[in-house]
Chain A
Amino acid sequence: MTGHAPAKRPNQLFRNLTAKIASIPMILIALGIFLGGSLWTVVYSFTNSKLLPRASFVGFDQFERLWSSSRWIISIQNLAIYGILSLIFSMVIGFLLAALMDQKIRFENTFRTIFLYPFALSFIVTGLVWQWILNPEFGIQGIVRSLGWESFSFDPLYNADIVIYGILIAGLWQGTGLVMCLMLAGLRGIDEDIWKAARVDGIPMWRTYLFIVIPMMRPVFITTLVIIASGIVKVYDLVVAQTSGGPGNASEVPAKYVYDYMFQAQNLGQGFAASTMMLLTVAIIIIPWAYLEFGGKKRG
C-alpha cells in the first residue's frame, strides 16, 4: 500500500496494558498461591519437615505413617460417614422443602427466611448451640428423662460411637437451607408449560416430580452435589466448636488433623501429607464433574 504507516506499531505485549497491570493481583493469586502453593504442599509432603519445611525427601514415608495412624483412619471414617449421610439428607430434605415451597404457598418469604437463617451463622456458633442442645444433663436427653422416661439415652457428644451423628445434626441444620434455595431456584427455572401439560394429561404431581422434573433438574443436582461435597471435605470449625474432636479422638476429621499437625504438633510433613490426601479427595470429586460439565462441550 502507499506508505500509510500507522503512527505507532502496537506490540502485542503492551496492548491493553492497563488491563494486564490491573490483573496482576489475580494472576499472582492464581499462579502463585492456588497453583504454586498447592504444588509446594504436595512436593513437601514427601519430606520429613518438622518444625520448619526442609527439602530432605523421604519418599512415601509420611503417607505410610499417615495411613498407619489410627487418628487419621478415624478421621477418614468420620468424613465418609458424615459426608455420605449429609449428602443424602441435605439433598432429600432440601429438595422436599423446595418442592413444598414451590406449591404457591402463603408466607413463602417467612418460611424461606426461617430455613435459611442458620446458613448466615458461622460453624462456631452452630457447633456451640448444638453442643448445648445435645448436653445430656440439660438438653434433649435431660428433658425426656425428666418427663419420666428414665432410661432414655441420647448423648451423641459424649458417646464415641455416635458422636459423628451429633455433628451431622448440627451440620444439616446449618446447611440444608442453602440446598433448598438452590433446588428452589432450579424448580422455578422449569417451564410453567411443563406443569400445565402434566396437569392436562392428568399425571399425578408426585409422578411429575419423579419422572419429569427431577430428570430436568439434573444440572442443578450435580452442581449442588459438588458444592456440598467440596464443603464437606473442608469441615473443620464445626467439629472444633462442638466436640474439639472428642470424646477421645472419636470425632476427628482430616481438616483438623492437618491443622493440628501443622500448627500444634510441629510435624509439618504429616500435615502436608494429610492435606495432600484432602486435595486428592477433592480432585476425585471435582475432576469427573468438571469433565462432564466442561470437557464435552469444547469439541462442539
Chain B
Amino acid sequence: MANISTLNTTAAGFDAVSDQVASGPRGRKPRRTLSPRNIMLYGTLFVFALYYLLPLYVMVVTSLKGMPEVRMGNIFSPPMEITFEPWVKAWAEACTGLNCDGLSRGFWNSVRILVPSVVVSIAVASVSGYALANWRFKGSEFYFSILIIGAFIPYQVMLYPVVIALREIGVYGTLTGLVIVHTIFGMPILTLLFRNYFASLPVELFKAARIDGAGFWQIYFRIMLPMSLPIFVVAMILQVTGIWNDFLFGVVFTRPDVYPMTVQLNNIVNSVQGVKEYNVNMAATLLTGAVPLIVYFLSGRLFVRGIAAGAVKG
C-alpha cells in the first residue's frame, strides 16, 4: 500500500501550503482613503482650486451686496442682505460718458459684432483649410506658412496698415470693418484647425469623390461639411470666446456708440468721475464674463480641444 501513503503525504503537504495561503495576503490590497499620499494630493489640488475659485466668489458676493455693506465688510464675507439692485443698475443704468443706459448697449453691440464675425471668419477659414488640405496648388503651402508665422506677429505691428486698408475701402469704424478685422486675425488659427482636420479625414474619401466626378464645392458641401460638425463646433467655441473677449480691436476699429461690451465695461469701471460703485462694477464684470463662461461650462471637453488646437494663437 505504498501508493496510499505517498498519496497521504502529498495531501498533507497540500494542506500546509493552503493554510499558509489562507493566512497570507489575499485578494485586493487594502487601500486607505486617508493615506498621506492622498492627503497631500487632494490637499494641494484643493488649495489651488480655492485660489482659482476665489475671484469668481468675490465677484458674486460683491455684486449681491449693497454699497454700505461693501464699504463696511471685507470682500470675502457673504452678503448679509442679498440685493439684485447692482445687477439692474449695471445692465440698464451705468454711465459711460454721456450715455447712461448701462451695459445692455455694449452687450447688444457685442452680439451684433459676434454673429457675423463668427460666421464669416469660420466660412472663409474652413474653405481655405479645405483647399490647403485637399487641393494643394503651387505656393499654397507658402501662403499657409506666412499665415502661421502671422499668428505670432504682435497685432500692434499690423494694426495701422489694417486701419489704412479699411479706410481705403470705406469701412473703417463700421461693423463691416470689424467683421473683416476679426476674419483676418482669426484666419491663422482657424485655417490651421480646419486644414489639420480635413487632412486627418481619409484621403481616399476625397479620391472617391473625385472619381465620382464631384468638383471643389460639391466635395466641400456634400462630403466634407457633413463629416465636420465637431470641428465646426470647436471653431465656434474658439471664435465666440475670442471675439467676445476682444478689447484691442474693439477700441481701435469701432466708434464709441458701437463699442463692444469689454470696452464699455472697462470705461464704466475705470471712469474717474463719480463715486466708485464696486458692487455695480462687479455685477457688470460678471455680466461681461457670463457669455464665455456659459460657453465654457456648456462645451466642456470641446473647449479643451479648442484651446489645445488654438493654443498657437497665444
Contacts and interface: CB of A to CB of B under 8 A. Distances in A.
Report if A and B touch in the complex (beta carbons < 8 A): yes
A23 B51 contact: no
Interface residues of A, number: 99
User: Of residues B49, B56, B216, B285, which shows the largest number of chain A Cβ atoms within 10 Å of its Cβ?
Assistant: B285
B307 interface: yes
A135 B73 CA distance: 13
Contacts of A209: none
Contact of A231 (B161, B247, B314): B314
Contacts of A111: 45, 49
Interface stretch (A69-77, A82-90, A139-147, A190-198): A139-147
Contacts of A263: 251-252
Given A114-B49, A124-B265, A29 B216 contact: no
B113 interface: no
Contacts of B56: 117
B289 interface: yes
Interface string B59-76: 100100000001100111
Interface in B152-174: 152-162, 164-165
B161 A143 contact: no
Interface stretch (A2-10, A31-39, A56-64, A160-168): A31-39
A36 B161 CA distance: 9
Given A27-B143, A133-B54, A122 B154 contact: no
Interface in A131-163: 131-133, 135, 138-139, 142-143, 146
A122 B288 CA distance: 9
A115 interface: yes
Given A16-B137, A282-B154, A177 B247 contact: no
Given A181-B307, A182-B311, A117 B153 contact: no
Interface in A9-31: 12, 15-16, 18-20, 22-23, 25-27, 29-31
B78 interface: no
Contacts of A22: 127-128, 131, 216
B265 A132 contact: no
A247 interface: no
A138 B293 contact: no
Contacts of A12: 138
B54 A128 contact: no
A97 B150 contact: no
A240 B262 CA distance: 12
A100 B158 contact: no
B55 A129 contact: yes
A187 interface: no
B147 A138 contact: no
B199 interface: no
Given A41-B157, A44-B160, 6 more contacts: A30-B146, A120-B296, A133-B55, A142-B74, A279-B154, A282-B152
Q: 10 shortest A-B CB distances, which residue pairs?
A: A34-B150, A122-B245, A19-B135, A37-B161, A120-B296, A18-B216, A26-B128, A231-B314, A37-B158, A30-B146
